[in-house]
Amino acid sequence: MAPSVTASPAVTRTRVRAWRARGETVAFVPTMGALHEGHLALARRAKHSADRVVASVFVNPLQFNDARDLKAYPRDLAGDRALLAREGVDLVFAPRAAAFYPKGHATRVTVGGLDRVLEGAHRPGHFTGVATVVSKLLNVVEPDQLWLGQKDAQQVAILTRMIQDLDFAVTVRVAPTVRARDGLALSSRNARLTPAERAQAPALYRALKAGARHRSAGAAERAMRKELARAKLAKVDYAALVDPRTFEKPRPGVRRGLLVVAARFPSARLIDNLKVNL
């Protein structure tokens, strides 16, 4: 049975509260739609870990620092609903931007420090948009679990910090990155790559694996940049070893961490990451 789709925060809250009043647990999967196997794997895990699953489909204008990127972002609510139905999602919350951010909306949630490095430095305002919309979604859905994808590792770190800092009553669960056969991390933006760009895009994952074979942060970063340089159509935004909680450089001598890369192809900007113990 296809899940109900509603644009109404009140309807969503009422449905979820009825489930919780019966003692059912609720998992929440926020998405921007344009669903791929990465999202569906997330929904599947959520379904296994809770009695009910709510997904949101909302292309959040607040987190786009590039108006063209917002406009180009793919939208297909009917298709998304059909895909979520197969995973047993119970309810889809798909608010309308004009109602979710009415005239006069002025509140922002910021996570200091974490929002200024790497992705934050390359996409000013992006993480404030993410933290603000997820605060709203958590207040509407009131879930027990929030499911996020490891592919957006800095987003995971920022939302984990926000949830702890603001005492949201929700547990963060993280699902591993789903990859194409050639290693490319699944992303809604992959669809925008030209065939030539798509052929070079696995360089990100190859770079991460090359980095993981070295024993120091410096050597790992050099190996990643060397591998990325082979993708002639891409420009590297960053390639680094970071602490997965703070996204700062690990302390000297610390070899456990997260390798992170970002590269800009003419048609889309891609990111990826890999947990390592160098």
Query: Looking at 89, 130, 131, 242, which residue binds its own copies (CB under 8 A)?
Result: 131
Binding residue (CB under 8 A) for its own copies from 29, 50, 62, 114: 114
Q: How far is the CB of 145 from its own copies (least distance, A)?
A: 16
Shortest gap between Cβ of 223 and its own copies (angstroms)? 31
> Per-residue string for binding with its own copies, 12-51, x by CB under 8 A?
-x-------x------------------------------
Active site residues: 39
Which residues does 58 contact at the CB level (< 8 Å), separation at least 6?
A: 30, 31, 32, 33, 93, 94, 95, 97, 100, 133, 137
Nearest to 270 by CA among 233, 226, 223: 233
Give the torsion sign (CA, 149, 151, 153, 155): negative
Residue 105 lies near its own copies (rule: CB under 8 A): yes
Residue 98 or 167: which CB sits closer to its own copies?
A: 167
Binding piece for its own copies, criterion CB under 8 A, among 158-166, 189-197, 205-213, 270-278: 158-166
Tell me the window of 53-61, 103-111, 183-191, 212-220 that interacts with its own copies (CB under 8 A).
103-111
Give DSSP secondary structure letters for 167-189: T-S-EEEEEPPPB-TTSPBP-GG
Q: Would you say 137 and 56 are in contact if contact means Cβ atoms under 8 Å apart?
A: yes
Binding part of the chain for its own copies, among 36-44, 71-79, 135-143, 180-188 by CB under 8 A, reads 135-143
Q: Closer to its own copies at the Cβ: 86 or 116?
A: 116
| Residues in 215-274 at the binding interface with its own copies, rule: CB under 8 A | none
Residue with Cβ nearer its own copies (164 or 216): 164
Helical (H) or strand (E) element with 223: helix 217-229
Cα gap 230→174, rounded to integer Å: 31
**Size of site (CB under 8 A) for its own copies:** 28
| Comparison of 139 and 194: residue with beta carbon closer to its own copies | 139
Q: Which residue's entry shows tokens 């929904």?
A: 43
The interface region with its own copies, picked from 40-48, 130-138, 255-263, 268-276 by CB under 8 A, is 130-138
**Cβ nearer to its own copies, comparing 66 with 165:** 165
173 alpha carbon, distance to own chain's centre = 12
Please name which of 151, 168, 202, 122 lies closest in space to residue 31, comparing C-alpha atoms: 151
- For residue 188, the tally of other CB atoms under 10 A from its CB is 18
The one-letter amino acid code at 91 reads: L
To the nearest whole angstrom, how small is the minimum distance from the Cβ of residue 50 to its own copies?
A: 17
| Contact predicate 37/152, CB 8 Å | no
Structure tokens at 127: 């993480």
Provide the binding-site residues for its own copies, judged by CB under 8 A: 9, 13, 21, 104-114, 131-132, 135-136, 139-140, 142, 161-162, 165-169
